[in-house]
Structure 1
Amino acid sequence: MSVLLVLHGTRHPDGARTARLLAARTAARLDRPVELAYADVRGPTVAQALARVGAGPVTVVPAFLASGYHVRVDIPEQLRAAGRAPDATVTAPLGPSPELLPALADRLAEAGVREGDAVLLAGAGTADPSARGEVAGVAARLGRLLSRPDPVPVGWAATAGPSVAEAVARLRAAGARRVAVASWLLAPGLFADRVRASGADAVAAPLAGHPAVVSLLARRARAGAADGVGVTAPAGAPAPPGAYRASAMC
């Protein structure tokens, strides 16, 4: 079974390089080729990547940190438009897996977070209420992991409010002397640039280069290949946990 890794897409050259490196590291972990595609902004598109993969079963791994529009609607629709929904297994996305919490904490430490800093979680932004709830859950778990006395608020790089800059300002208005931002973002790009410009004292890097991300992507791909959803499951059969039949989502 072929493996297709789908990211959001960015015009930022560092973001594109990060995506290619992430695909290469995942391929090395799986010991099989991994084709890279983007859901938006840049190519190769899902259809273009599938054409390179060729006919046959394909495991599609959405490299997204929440199950918003692109995961629930856009990627399945692109698979349908390419005529590949029946033989595609779409795995669960990266987020909001608790397996990534240590990566968040590591990135914060690398950024120079200090004892007593107020901590904020920066998300990409989404109009999907369930996806916003997923990110809020990550913030709550991060606060527990860091043994923070106060809840970790969420700021958004786009779409939703408050913005990261607004959330930083609120923490300062509440008395925080220093603010550190944990980035619930996968790769460099416009959103990461906005987070860095938020006025925080310490801003963690995106997660893509962390070993936990590659490990989780590889596990998602292996689980999807083993499940075979959309390949062997009869029409109307329930999808096993963590994966779904692409044709059923369109």
Structure 2
Amino acid sequence: MVPTMVLVADDLCDVHRKKALRGLAEAVADRGEAPVVPAFGSGPEVNETVRSTEGPIAVVPAFVAGGDLASAETFARLDLDGRVDACPTPPLGAVPSIVADLARRLHDSGWTLGDGVVLAADGANDQDERQEVTDVARMLSRRLRSPVQVGYLNGWAPTVADAVDRLRSGREPRVFVATWRLIDGADVERLHELGATSVTAPLWPSELVVDTLLAQHRLAKARLAA
């Protein structure tokens, strides 16, 4: 039996997030590889959706590690006690194909060697997620053959604004922001107010995101079958 993919994210108080998340869920379902149930909303709403979905289920975060504080907190509070037919997966992190796509987006936005780069993450309470952000920055730096600074929108220092200002006041008058977010939303709009030369769009829409979420589902399917 093919496990149902339950996509989890917080979509409260943000019309852009709601629209983007539903578009992502539809794109995954359209592949026809697995049934998809969106579990978007508040913590209680997400838990209710998970509880009411018949197993087996693969519970997949619809966000990147360190890229969505609200969704990470919702995912951490999921109640899967007693659900032996449920397999949660980690959020997407330092996936080579996604980092390569991020580098391509920077090049397409006009970045050239010598320009500054800030990887803009959201923040999280999980040290593992912070390490994932660090790993993404290192991988991106190797691809660009140029330093990449990390900045956070919420919760951690340095802030994205601090990182952008520091680079602009140094030898990098042009600073590009690489958005480490899966979907669009109000927080992403804040990045455009920081005076950077350019800001890349969130990772979705991209077929690579769908590919990687389905890869997560296959791993969960194998674990459930073991």
Question: What is the TM-score when the length of structure 1 is the normalising length?
Answer: 0.79
Q: Within 1, Cα distance between the matches of 2:188 and 2:172?
A: 23
Please name the residue that 1:162 is paired with.
158
Please name the residue that 1:236 is paired with.
none
Please name the residue that 2:26 is paired with.
24
> Match of 1:79, SS?
coil
Query: Structure 2 matches for 1:23-172, cutoff 5 A?
Result: 23-38=25-40, 42=42, 45-50=45-50, 53=53, 55-66=54-65, 74-75=74-75, 77-80=77-80, 85-148=83-146, 151-172=147-168
- The one-character-per-residue Cα deviations of 1:215-242 (angstroms, maximum 9, x if unpaired) are 00011112211210xxx66xxxxxxxxx
Query: Structure 2 matches for 1:224-243, cutoff 5 A?
Result: 224-228=220-224
Q: In the alignment, which of 195, 207, 216 is matched to residue 220 of structure 1?
A: 216
Post-superposition offset of 1:20: 0.7
Moved over 6 A (4+): 67-73
> How many residues are aligned here?
223
Identity %: 36
Q: Within 2, Cα distance between the matches of 1:144 and 1:77?
A: 35
Q: Within 1, Cα distance between the matches of 2:137 and 2:94?
A: 10
> Match of 1:78, SS?
coil
Aligned amino acid, residue 214 of structure 2: A
Post-superposition offset of 1:183: 0.6
Q: Within 1, Cα distance between the matches of 2:181 and 2:131?
A: 16
Q: Within 1, Cα distance between the matches of 2:83 and 2:95?
A: 25
Cα contact 1:30–1:218 (8 A) shared by 2: no
Question: What is the TM-score when the length of structure 2 is the normalising length?
Answer: 0.87
Cα contact 1:29–1:215 (8 A) shared by 2: no
Please name the residue that 1:185 is paired with.
181
- Stretches of structure 1 that go unaligned for 5 or more consecutive residues are 234-250
- The one-character-per-residue Cα deviations of 1:63-95 (angstroms, maximum 9, x if unpaired) are 232179878875354233xx5533210123211
CA distance change for structure 1 residues 209 and 72 in 2, over 3 Å: closer, same or farther?
closer
Q: Within 2, Cα distance between the matches of 1:8 and 1:46?
A: 8
Please name the residue that 1:246 is paired with.
none
CA distance change for structure 1 residues 92 and 43 in 2, over 3 Å: closer, same or farther?
closer
- Stretches of structure 2 that go unaligned for 5 or more consecutive residues are none
Q: Within 1, Cα distance between the matches of 2:71 and 2:188?
A: 20
CA RMSD of aligned residues (A): 2.6
Q: Within 2, Cα distance between the matches of 1:127 and 1:2?
A: 28
Aligned amino acid, residue 227 of structure 1: R
Q: Within 2, Cα distance between the matches of 1:36 and 1:207?
A: 19
